[in-house]
């Protein structure tokens, strides 16, 4: 499953307890308490009589005692907000059952039985968007993590694997398309305008992978021939009128299928592959076997309505869900503590795919920026947890950047240590050993040890310890030897005050100052708290390039001069390391400026050094524009705050904008020339054209900081002449941060032009909410009352409020208004959609890392939330953990 991603900044289950918990006091589930389920459920037959307001479900479960589990004379079937209409055991009506909270307890005396349970639900009333729900006249499901229990009573845990046969019937005019997992077995017409379809999935799967869609849809259809010569039918189902915007998604799917065969040896295993786009969806997408359900945001794309970033997002999420067919479906999780087994591995797979489809260095920089913007703050805050947690209360709260993005980095480190070929041997062994099983993270690591020939005994600490390691770096020179001194500190996190050293693979290069060259890249692995590495035949103190390619998810704290950072920014041949040198140059300057340690002369010197480095980026003809665009991006305010023990958001914003303005004023003619040169490149989807669009908007961002009048005219001209959404949105983003008639005209034109397209109107909301405009919070208030705003659509809620919550300029308003707005939203949204509401708590949870005045205001809103009656368990857990 792909988690819904936070908006970009302008720059760039195991239920083991018997008692059902109260909403404010959910039971703590612990990994150490895992026990196999006492009953196997090899076969499941589901019969759906469909209706938007009334759907009846009859479930028939074949159950048998599990010889590998402790025997039980009852079966516990999970439920949530449902009641049984009737229960039969072996064909006989049973009244010998009782409810334990929301779960159904049924006595079973023999070794094998057939259980039949009828339930009825109202999909139209399901605002949680979990289980079976209605979305604009259609029916669809979302069952990960614990949504299937909202459809029928079932052992809703990932280690219960079953083959499913699904029959559904309903009004043909209302639901002309009937879809479920697996292959279509039969279909036909019924009585009184109804029709039916029967689907069978031959591959055992857990209930969280069940899917059903019924609605009035049209398909973009194609086919793919696998490496063994089988033809697979491909369909992308959308609302009529949207089919012309699915071409990129279809091509991305076919590229993903071919790449997975070539890179990981994985072939698709059904006769067809269906994708359905849904406008009301909590997540980005869901990998249900053979029937992926997607948020429309990650399916629909054309040049008029989608940016280059949107195209990349569609490609990446299509690939992610397809890759889950093996890393998640054929091999699933034993329990939810193993979530990173499938998600971390699959994120790595989609990252490698995207690297191969585009620019490897640019993709790597983008992935690290996401990690630093979302996961690093999580790792240093009250919600910190290992990629394999030891306990949870609400599993929905563990679909986090740590599980996904840090999980991917941990597996990437194994790949770095093993090398590409040996890593492939390890993954082949993992797939061969565990196909058709519910596996654990330990199973993956063991397969990697055996297949790739690694000793990962100490490396397992990455799965059990939270926190981002800080690596102290010092370089010295003695005679003809260079000595690299490294030390690591894994900071304390909630529940883990003391940490053991972890193995940290660091790719390095030693540059000669005179020639600007090095003798080759090396891999050093830090395994102790402190360790030194010697390098012979080094005539003078070299310039160290470290953590090249971001080989480990750590923070580097190095003793390095400003001159050496400028050197690396100009000479480093590793694109990420060059980017990192520029980032470090800016971060060190801004940290000193924010702390008040810089006198005016030193501040000017720092600005001049940074300006010189940026001038070299602008003048370097060897750079492609995609990479140049990345090198021009300043560190985000969120990342800058993360580098400080206590952050002052206002000071960070002020100093960052001042630096941007100084760079812009000194290099105004260069940015004007860059904007003109990039503007002359005709539209295309090749790397050169995409790069031109990228630097064009970056030039406008700088000009807006240095010469707003020039930027306003340029941005308005770019907006008027735009023949694609990337240019149009880039110009509008810049105008949103400025005042003037051009801003008003562009916002009115954009809304009128795209009023019928929800995804584009989401952009309209987000651009205003995340803008640098002084009145951004007032704009958010007004937009909350707009006729197109609704709390019932997660995309729309995220477009307005998440954009604001992750825009430090607006969120951290001095009077605390931003904090109050987010708390008000959580209270309003929680009764409607607690899963989405809970995701707005973490920004407030950063209160301990913010200066005292704002910190007190943030904590006040958390305490207000904690005292609110009837708060969902999802949100209450986040709030209580944030308060500590």
- Catalytic machinery residues: 321
Whether 374 and 468 have beta carbons less than 8 Å apart is answered as no
- Cβ atoms 3, 346 nearer than 8 A: no
Task: Find the largest Cα–Cα distance for the chain.
Answer: 93
Contact 339, 403 (CB under 8 A): yes
Nearest to 812 by CA among 696, 689, 651: 651
Name the β-bridge partners of 545: 509
Q: Which two tokens stand for residue 467?
A: 């926190």
Give CA 264 to chain center in angstroms.
Answer: 22
Contact 777, 816 (CB under 8 A): no
Four-point Cα dihedral 26, 31, 33, 38, nearest 10: 100
What's CA 713's distance to the chain center, in Å? 36
For CA atoms 469, 343, 441, 356, give the dihedral sign.
negative
Burial class (CB in 10 A: 0-12, 13-18, 19+), 46: buried
- Residue 851: strand, helix, or coil: coil
Distance CA 677, CA 692 (A): 8
Q: What angle do CA 630, 631, 636 make, to 5 degrees?
A: 75
> Dihedrals φ, ψ of 348, to 5°?
-60, -45
Q: Measure the CA dihedral 116/117/123/126, to 10°.
A: -130
- Whether the CB-CB separation of 142 and 281 falls below 8 Å is answered with yes
Q: Which regions of 296-401 does DSSP assign to beta strands (E)?
A: 332-333, 391-392
Residue 42, both tokens: 């090899």
Q: What are the angstrom distances between the C-alpha of 784 and each of 398, 706, 823?
A: 29, 32, 14
Q: Is 856 helix (H, G, I), strand (E, B) or coil?
A: helix
Rounded to the nearest 5°, which phi and psi values hold at 864?
Answer: -60, -45
CA dihedral 739, 743, 744, 747 (to 10 degrees): -140
Nearest C-alpha neighbor of 121 from the set 96, 89, 85, 163: 85
Tokens standing for residue 400:
């986090």
The helix or strand, by DSSP H or E, that contains position 237, with its residue range, turns out to be strand 231-238
Task: For residue 89, give both structure tokens.
Answer: 């055991």
Spatial distance between the Cα atoms of 398 and 634, rounded to a whole number of angstroms? 30
Burial class (CB in 10 A: 0-12, 13-18, 19+), 680: exposed
Residue 649 makes CB contacts below 8 A (sequence gap 6+) with 637, 641, 808, 809, 811, 812, 850, 851, 854
The secondary structure of residue 396, as a DSSP letter, is: G
Q: Which residues, listed in sequence order, are joined to residue 274 by a DSSP beta bridge?
A: 235, 291
- 3-state helix vs strand vs coil in the chain, percent to 5: 45, 20, 35
Rounded Cα gap, residues 607 and 139, in angstroms: 57
SS (H, E, C) 537-551: CCCCCCEEEECCCCC
According to DSSP, residue 800 is labeled I
């Amino acid at each position: 499953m792909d988690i819904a991603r936070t908006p970009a900044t302008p720059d760039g289950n195991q239920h083991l307890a018997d008692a059902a918990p109260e909403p404010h006091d959910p039971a703590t589930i612990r990994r150490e308490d895992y026990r196999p389920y006492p009953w196997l459920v090899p076969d499941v037959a589901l019969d759906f009589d469909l209706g938007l307001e009334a759907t009846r479900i009859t479930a028939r479960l074949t159950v048998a005692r599990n010889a590998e589990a402790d025997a039980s004379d009852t079966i516990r079937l999970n439920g949530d907000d449902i009641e049984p209409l009737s229960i039969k055991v072996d064909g006989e009506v049973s009244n010998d059952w009782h409810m334990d909270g929301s779960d159904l307890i049924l006595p079973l005396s023999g070794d094998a039985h057939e259980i039949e349970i009828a339930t009825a639900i109202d999909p139209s009333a399901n605002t949680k968007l979990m289980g079976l729900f209605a979305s604009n006249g259609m029916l669809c499901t979302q069952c990960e993590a614990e949504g299937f229990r909202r459809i029928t009573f079932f052992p809703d845990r990932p280690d219960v694997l079953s083959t499913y046969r699904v029959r559904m019937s309903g009004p043909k005019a209302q639901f002309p398309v009937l879809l479920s997992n697996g292959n279509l077995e039969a279909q036909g017409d019924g009585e009184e305008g109804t029709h039916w379809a029967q689907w069978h999935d031959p591959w055992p799967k857990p209930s969280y992978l069940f899917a059903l869609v019924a609605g009035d849809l049209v398909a973009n259809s194609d086919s793919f021939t696998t490496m063994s010569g089988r033809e697979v039918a491909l369909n992308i189902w959308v609302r009529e009128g949207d089919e012309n915007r699915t071409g990129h998604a279809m091509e991305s799917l076919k590229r993903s299928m071919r790449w997975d065969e070539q890179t990981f040896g994985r072939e698709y295993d059904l006769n067809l592959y269906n994708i359905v786009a849904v406008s009301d969806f909590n997540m980005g997408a869901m990998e249900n076997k053979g029937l992926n359900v997607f948020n429309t945001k990650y399916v629909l794309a054309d040049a008029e309505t989608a940016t280059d970033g949107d195209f990349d997002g569609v490609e990446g999420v299509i690939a992610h869900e397809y890759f889950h067919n093996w890393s998640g479906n054929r091999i699933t999780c034993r329990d939810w503590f193993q979530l990173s087994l499938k998600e971390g591995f699959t994120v790595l797979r989609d990252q490698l795919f995207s690297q191969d489809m585009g620019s490897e260095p640019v993709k790597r920089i983008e992935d690290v920026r996401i990690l630093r913007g979302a996961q690093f703050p999580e790792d240093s805050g009250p919600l910190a947890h290992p990629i394999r947690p030891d306990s949870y209360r609400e599993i929905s709260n563990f679909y986090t950047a740590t599980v996904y993005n840090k999980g991917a980095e941990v597996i990437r480190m194994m790949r770095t240590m093993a090398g590409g070929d040996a890593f492939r041997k390890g993954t082949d062994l993992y797939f061969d050993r565990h196909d058709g099983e519910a596996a654990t993270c330990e199973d993956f690591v063991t397969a990697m040890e055996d297949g790739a020939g690694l000793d990962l005994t100490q490396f397992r600490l990455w799965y059990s310890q939270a926190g981002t390691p800080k690596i102290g770096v010092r370089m010295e020179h003695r005679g003809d030897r260079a000595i690299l001194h490294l030390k690591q500190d894994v900071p304390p996190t909630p529940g883990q005050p003391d940490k053991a050293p972890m193995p940290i693979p660091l790719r390095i290069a030693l540059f000669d100052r005179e020639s600007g060259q090095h003798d080759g890249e090396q891999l050093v692995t830090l395994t102790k708290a402190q360790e030194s590495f010697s390098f012979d035949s080094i005539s003078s103190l070299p310039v160290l390039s470290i953590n090249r390619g971001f080989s480990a998810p750590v923070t580097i704290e190095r003793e390095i001069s400003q001159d050496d950072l400028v050197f690396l920014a100009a000479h480093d041949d590793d694109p990420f390391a060059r980017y990192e040198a520029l980032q470090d140059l800016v971060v060190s300057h801004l940290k000193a400026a924010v702390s008040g340690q810089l006198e005016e002369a030193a501040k000017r010197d720092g600005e001049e050094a940074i300006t010189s480095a940026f001038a070299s980026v602008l003048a370097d003809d060897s750079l492609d524009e995609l990479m140049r665009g990345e090198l021009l991006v300043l560190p985000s305010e969120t990342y800058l705050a993360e580098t400080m023990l206590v952050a002052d958001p206002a000071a960070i914003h002020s100093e960052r904008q001042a630096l941007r303005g100084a760079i812009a004023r000194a290099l105004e003619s260069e940015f004007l020339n860059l904007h003109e040169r990039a503007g002359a490149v005709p539209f295309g989807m090749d790397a050169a054209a995409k790069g031109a669009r990228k630097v064009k908007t970056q030039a406008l961002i700088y000009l807006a900081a240095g010469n707003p009048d020039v930027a306003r005219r340029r941005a308005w001209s770019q907006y008027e002449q735009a023949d694609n959404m990337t240019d149009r949105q880039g110009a509008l983003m810049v105008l949103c941060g400025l005042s003037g008639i051009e801003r008003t005209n562009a916002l009115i034109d954009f809304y009128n032009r795209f009023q019928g397209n929800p995804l584009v109107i989401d952009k309209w909301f987000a651009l205003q909410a995340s803008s640098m405009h002084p009145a951004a919070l007032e704009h958010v208030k007004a937009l909350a009352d707009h006729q197109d705003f609704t709390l019932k659509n997660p995309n729309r809620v995220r477009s307005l409020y998440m954009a604001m919550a992750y825009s430090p300029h607006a969120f951290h308003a001095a009077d605390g208004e931003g904090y109050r707005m987010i708390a008000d939203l959580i209270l309003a949204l929680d009764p409607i959609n607690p899963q989405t509401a809970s995701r707005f708590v973490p920004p407030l949870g950063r209160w301990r890392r913010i200066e005292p005045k704002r910190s007190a205001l943030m904590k006040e809103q958390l305490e207000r939330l904690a005292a609110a009656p009837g708060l969902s368990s999802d949100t209450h857990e986040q709030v209580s953990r944030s308060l500590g």
